[in-house]
Structure formats: C-alpha cells, structure tokens
A and B are shown apart, each in its own frame.
Chain A
Amino acid sequence: MSTSISSTSTTPRWKAWVSAQNIVVAVVLVLAIIFPLVVDRPRFWLPNIGVRTLWMGTIAMSLVFLNKYVGLLSLAQMTFAGICSYGIGYFSVTMGWPIIPSIVLSLGIGSFAGWLTALIAVRTKAIYFMMITLALAQVFYSWASQAIEVTNARRGIAPIPRPDFGFINLNDITTFYYFALVLAVIAYVIFRYTATSQFGLAIQGIKDSPERMSALGYNVNRYRTAALTLAAFVASIGGVILVFDRNQVDPSFVSLDSTLNILVVAVVGGIGSLGGVFIGGLVFALLQNFAQDFTDRYMTLTGLVFIGVLLFFPAGLVGLGPMIRRLFSKRAKASASSESSETLDAERRAGTHNKKGQHK
C-alpha cells in the first residue's frame, strides 16, 4: 500500500523524533534547565529574565498556535492570562480560599473567557477577528480598572504571596523558576501534541479551506471555538506564572501595552514557530532590563529591534536557522551547478552531449 504507512511502521519510534526542530528544542531545554546554575546573580537573573521569559513566551505561544494552526490572530491572549491572574488574586486573597482550588478554578475561568470570546468572534475572519479580540480585551481592561468590589480597581489585588506546597516552596526563587519552566514545557507539549491529533489536522484544514471543511461535514465554528478555548487555557497557564512572579495583579496586566508586548514577543520569536516565542520572550526581557543602561529611550530601542526583525527576519529569530542553512545549500548548489555546467561544456566539446540528449 502506501509507502508512508510501511515506513512509519518499520522505523523505530525514537527515530521519528530526531529532527532539526527537536534537536534545537532539546538544546534550548537543557540551557533553560542549567540556567540557574550558570548565572552570576540568580536573584536578578531568575525573576527578571528567566521567569519573565517563561510567562511572556507561554502567553505568546498561545497566540502563535492560533495564528499558525487556525489562522486567527487573537489580541486577547494577554487578557485571558490576566483574567486567570485576577481569579487567583480574588479567590486566594480577597476570598481567602486555599491556593490550589483557586488556581484550578482560575484556569477554568480563563479558558471560559476564551470560549465566550470565541462565541462572539469565531464567525469573523482575519482583521475583523483581530479587531473584535482587541475590543473585548479593552472592555475587560476598563472593567478591571473600575470594578472596585472585584478587582479593587486601579490599585489591584496585592500582595498575592507565592504558595508553599510543603514539598515545593515557591518562595525560593530557584524553585519558582523551575515551577515556571515545568508549566511552560507542559504548555508547549499540549500544543505540539494537539497539532498531531485528528483535531489538529482538522483545524489546519479549516485554516486552509473552511468551505471545503464544511462540505466534508465538519462544523467549522465549533472547531475554531475549541481551538480558541484551548489557547485561552494555555494563556491562563502563563497567567499563573505571571501572578506569582509579580505577587499582585492590577489593570496594567491587561492593558493595551501588555497586549502589544505579547504580539511583539510572538513576532520577534517567529509567528510561525511555537518554541520561537521563548527566544522572542528572552530578547524582550533582556531589552526591558538592559536597554535603559544604554539609552533613556529604551522603548524606541525596542521598537527599532522590532522593525529590524520584521525587515530582516520575517520568520522571526527562529527563522535564522533555516536562513543560514539555505545560504549554505545555495552555495553548495551554485558550486554544484557550475561543476555540472563545466562537465556539460566538456561533453559538448567532446561531441557527446547531443548523443546523450537523443538517448533521453
């Protein structure tokens, strides 16, 4: 039968996992694991660079997932994360509930917000979808800035202490960093797995041709809704890291600035790459922390980096790898083709070329 079926059944399973992409992922993961051991000032590096990269990356990854696999650009991902953060603050501090139920319930509320957004936005496409998600994000921002009984308006909810689960105490910064890393890896695995599932194939089909999918009997909007809910769930995971990173929650979490920061992280990392967002997050966190050392206009510098990436690496910083590879293969090809044209010349001179042509 089909060659691919026989080949997948004969190759050992581990070999299917060896790809350039997975090698890069493994290397990055190892670097992330040894990060606390190699930095000179863990008290600075772990929260300001490490943890921040992880939550920005996780939230941006949910945006990239929607863009890459569903073809929808959502500007509400930061808002879903913020809703989860608010939930944790409200339940655990304002209501005084134990922390674990607060986190679980807040993850649910963040996902539910995604589902509600989908109900409204999923019938629209492209720019309209983006505008609706942005509008809903702004609606939540203005509500959060005013609802004094729930969100404590502009002052927000503080302090939200990091939990101590007994065997894991998140007040230790290294432990907290690894906690964040585990959550980010879980988020990544969720998306990688989803992409290979039947559901994942179906949403990719919907991205390419919704008309065809409904002609095949798929309920397109229901699939889109499910994908957006899943992305909101992952964004909420980012919100869990975020709220314990800041030890508080206030409207700036869901402001337009924060929303756009996530978009910048996604684009700088590579809007077509799930893992690339962490590179984008790292660059962004480094800029936020160090740009002020060189210049007073650090926002300008961030903007310039953004423009530079858009101009020179349209696939984001992860696009660098393939770009370099292509450069080398082009050179290899160029030298190969010059060789072959040399042999062609030689053949022509020897009068063999015409004969060869006739053979064909």
Chain B
Amino acid sequence: MPTQDIAISLTDVDKRFGGLRAVKNVSMEVRAGERVSMIGTNGAGKSTLFNLIAGVFPVTAGSVSMFGSVVTKQNTAKRARNGLARTFQTSRLFEQLTAEENVFIALGGRGLGVRSILPARRIPAKWHRVAELLETVGLVSEGTRRVADLSHGEQRQLELAMALAADPKILMLDEPAAGFSPAERQQLVAMLTALPADITLLLIEHDMDIALQVADRVIVMHDGSKILEGTPDEIRASQVVREIYLGGGHA
C-alpha cells in the first residue's frame, strides 16, 4: 500500500528486451530519506531497474510509484520534475559547453516559458547557485573549462553537481565512483554522507566499501531478481553474497 512516506515503490516489476528478461518480478520499497545501495554483478539488472524507476523505458509488467502516486505511465521529464534526479553510468554531459553552463542547464528553466528567452548570463542568482554546487563537488576552479577537456573523474563529479542542481527529493546514482582514485572515493563518501537527511538516495555501486559505508539498507540483485536485502552488517555476513561475488557454487 503506497503512502507518502515511501519514496519509491516497485510492485512486481518485470522488464523484457525481446527474449531477454532483464528484470524479473522485483518488488521493493525505499522510504523517504533512506539510503539504499544496490549491488550485484554485471548484468544483474541494476541499471535496468534504475532506468525503469527513472522512466527511461516502460515496464513490461508491474507498477512504479513515487511518494504514493503511481508514475508507471509518466515519462522521464515528468518524473524528474516531480523530484527525481539521476546520474548515468557513462557520463552524458554537454561536451561542447563549459562545466558551469552544464550545471546552469541542470538548474533548469524546466518549462519552456517566456522567461527562457532571457539572456542566460544576466541571472546572477542562478550563477551563484552554480558556483555553490561546483564547490560541493570540488570543481569550483574548473567552472569555465569545456567539459570535453575535463578528466574522467571531474566529469563524474560534474554529473553529481548536475543531479544535485534540481534539489531532488530522490537522488539515484549509477556507479558514481567508477574511475575514481582512492582519494576521490573518500571525498565521494564524505559528500554522500553529508547530503541533507530528507534526500532519498538510491545508489548502484560496485565498490563494496562505498556501497556498505553509505547505505542504511542494501539490496542484492542477481540475474534480474532481487535475492536479498538487509543492513550492511547482514550483507557483510551473508554467505549468498560471498558466493555471488566470489563466483561460488562450491558451497
């Protein structure tokens, strides 16, 4: 029974791509303000599940709700306007624009109104917010550089700044630490722990340290199904998780 306190609720969600059943009958709930990590091997269906929540593809069966209202039929843009922000597994930034212009766009003018024909440079309040966001992710000195010239790590940081720009209620990060150095990983963990408590965080991460450090609860995906969920401690102790990650079968 979906209510206001449940930020994301999936009920019996299925996704097929032709003959491939990428997500099999998954049900899950994420409470508002909760920090949830999704782990699982490559091809476990984590990113597909993400895309279903974000509305990139329609579900084959089942339903998706956000804060108690069914959004199964809503498109990506609508869900985004209702408070859902995400990053992509591979950076999809606006390469020809500068870092600050990227964040500026993320701040939106959302609707296509009369105000969107105002010159972009004459809105100081927005540019201050852009600078704040770049500061949050540690990119403030790179603001005027073109994205195509940024390093991979910097691009990932920029992705984060853009996801935060919309003041999201739900933040979904798809492998935010991919390609990060150990120092950058620690920075990321510090930043994620410092997020305002009312932001719901859903995280896909291969780095188990990060996934377990940040989360209140962990969901384990395998072969399109949700096979386990529990607190980080329970997951650490779980035999099943070890088998999956160590290529088990000998237990």
B96 touches A198 (CB 8 A): no
Q: Are B88's CB and A201's CB within 8 A?
A: no
A2 interface contact, C-beta 8 A? yes
A2-B143, A214-B77, A217-B77 given as contacts; is B105 within 8 A of A205 (CB)? yes
Assess the A208–B118 pair: CB atoms within 8 A: no
Most A C-beta atoms less than 10 A away, residue of B105, B127, B130: B105
Query: How many residues of chain B are within 8 Å of chain A by beta carbon?
Result: 49
User: Would you list which residues of chain A between 194 and 224 have a CB under 8 Å from chain B?
Assistant: 194, 196-202, 204-205, 207-209, 211-220, 222-223
A196 partner residues in chain B, CB cutoff 8 A: 119-121
Q: Are B117 and A215 in contact (CB under 8 A)?
A: no
B-side interface mostly: helix
Q: Are B97 and A205 in contact (CB under 8 A)?
A: yes
Decide if A30 is an interface residue (CB 8 Å cutoff). Answer: no
User: Which A residues are CB-close (under 8 A) to B121?
Assistant: 8, 196
> How far is B234's CA from A123's CA once the two chains are assembled, in angstroms?
47
- A2-B127, A2-B130, A209-B93 given as contacts; is B116 within 8 A of A215 (CB)? no
Task: Please give, as numbers and ranges, the residues of chain B lying within 8 Å of A223 by CB-CB distance.
Answer: 112
Contacts A2-B143, A214-B77; A198 near B85 (Cβ below 8 A) = no
Contact mask for chain B residues 159-198; partner A; CB cutoff 8 A; 1 contact, 0 none: 0001001100000000000000000000000000000000
Report 5 cross-chain contacts, Cβ distance below 8 Å, ordered by A residue: A1-B135, A3-B141, A201-B97, A201-B105, A214-B77
B54 at the binding interface (Cβ < 8 Å): yes
CB pair B110–A218 under 8 Å, yes or no, is yes
* Residue A4 at the chain B interface, CB threshold 8 Å: yes
Query: Binary interface profile of B, 137-169, with partner A (CB < 8 Å = 1, else 0)?
Result: 000110110000000000000000010011000
Structural contact, B88 and A211, CB atoms closer than 8 A: yes
Chain B: which residue is nearest A69 at the CB level? B96
A165 at the interface (CB under 8 A from B): no
> Nearest chain-B residue to A5 (Cβ)?
B127
Q: A-side interface residues toward B, CB under 8 Å?
A: 1-5, 8-9, 193-194, 196-202, 204-205, 207-209, 211-220, 222-223, 226
Interface membership of B226, Cβ < 8 A: no
User: Pick the contact of A211 from B92, B100, B144, B162 — CB < 8 Å?
Assistant: B92
Task: Count A-B contacts at CB 8 Å.
Answer: 116
A217 to B118, CA, bound (A): 19
The answer to whether A218 and B131 touch (CB under 8 A), given A4-B100, A4-B144, A201-B120, is no
Report if B106 contacts A (CB, 8 A): yes
In the assembled complex, B108 has its CB within 8 A of some CB on chain A: yes
Set of chain B residues within 8 Å of A226, measured between Cβ atoms: 112
Verify A216–B95 contact, CB threshold 8 A: no
Question: Residues 80-103 of chain B: 1 if any A CB is under 8 Å from the residue's CB, otherwise 0?
Answer: 110001101000111111001110
Task: Please tell me if the beta carbons of B144 and A3 are within 8 angstroms of each other in the complex.
Answer: yes
Bound-state CA distance A215–B50 (Å) is 12
Does A212 lie within 8 Å of B77, measured CB to CB?
Answer: no
CB-CB under 8 A for A2 and B100, given A193-B119, A196-B119, A217-B80:
yes
Q: How far is the CA of A71 from the CA of B109 in the complex (A)?
A: 21
Assembled-state Cα–Cα distance A226/B113 (Å): 11
Specify which chain B residues have a CB less than 8 angstroms from the CB of A9 in the assembled complex.
Answer: 124
A2-B131, A2-B140, A208-B97 are known contacts. Are A199 and B112 too (CB-CB below 8 A)?
yes
Taking a contact as CB atoms under 8 Å apart, the answer to whether B144 and A215 are in contact is: no
Interface residues of B (CB under 8 A from A): 54, 56, 75-77, 80-81, 85-86, 88, 92-97, 100-102, 104-106, 108-110, 112, 115-121, 123-124, 127-128, 130-132, 134-135, 140-141, 143-144, 162, 165-166
Please indicate the chain B residues that have their CB under 8 angstroms from the CB of A3 in the complex.
141, 143-144
A215 CA / B141 CA spacing, docked (Å): 26
- Whether A198 lies near B109 (C-beta < 8 A) is yes
Q: Are B131 and A214 in contact, with the CB atoms below 8 A? A: no
Q: Complex: how many Å from CA A8 to CA B124? A: 11
| Complexed CA–CA distance, A216 and B92 (Å) | 12
Other-chain residue from A1, A2, A4, A212 in contact with B88 (beta carbon distance below 8 A): A212
**Closest chain A residue, CB of each to CB of B110:** A217
Q: What are the residues of chain B within 8 A of A216 when measuring CB–CB?
A: 80, 85, 105-106, 108, 162, 165-166
Which residues on the B side are within 8 Å of A208 (C-beta)?
A: 93-97
Cβ of B166: which chain A residues have Cβ within 8 Å of it?
A: 216-217
B56, B120, B134: which has the most chain A beta carbons within 10 Å?
Answer: B120
CB distance from B170 to the nearest CB of A (A): 12
Nearest 3 pairs of A and B residues by beta carbon: A217-B80, A2-B131, A208-B94
How far is B124's CA from A220's CA once the two chains are assembled, in angstroms? 26
> Assuming the A-B contacts A5-B124, A214-B80, A215-B86, are A201 and B104 also in contact, with contact meaning beta carbons closer than 8 angstroms in the complex?
yes
Chain B residues with Cβ below 8 Å from A218 are 77, 108, 110
- Interface-central residue, B110, B121, B143, B165, by most chain A CB under 10 Å: B121
Chain B neighbourhood of A219, CB < 8 A: 77, 112
Tell me the bound Cα distance from A181 to B55 in angstroms: 48
How far in angstroms is the closest Cβ of chain A from B64?
16
Instruction: List the B side residues contacting A215 at CB < 8 Å.
Output: 54, 56, 76, 80, 85-86, 88
Shortest C-beta distance, A208 to chain B (Å), equals: 4
B140: nearest chain-A partner, CB-CB: A2
Nearest chain B residue, comparing its CB with the CB of A1: B131
> Most chain-A Cβ atoms within 10 A of its Cβ — which of B94, B128, B135, B144?
B94
| Given A1-B128, A202-B109, A197:B116 Cβ within 8 A | yes
How far does the Cβ of B181 sit from chain A's closest Cβ, in whole Å? Answer: 21
A214 to B104, CA, bound (A): 15
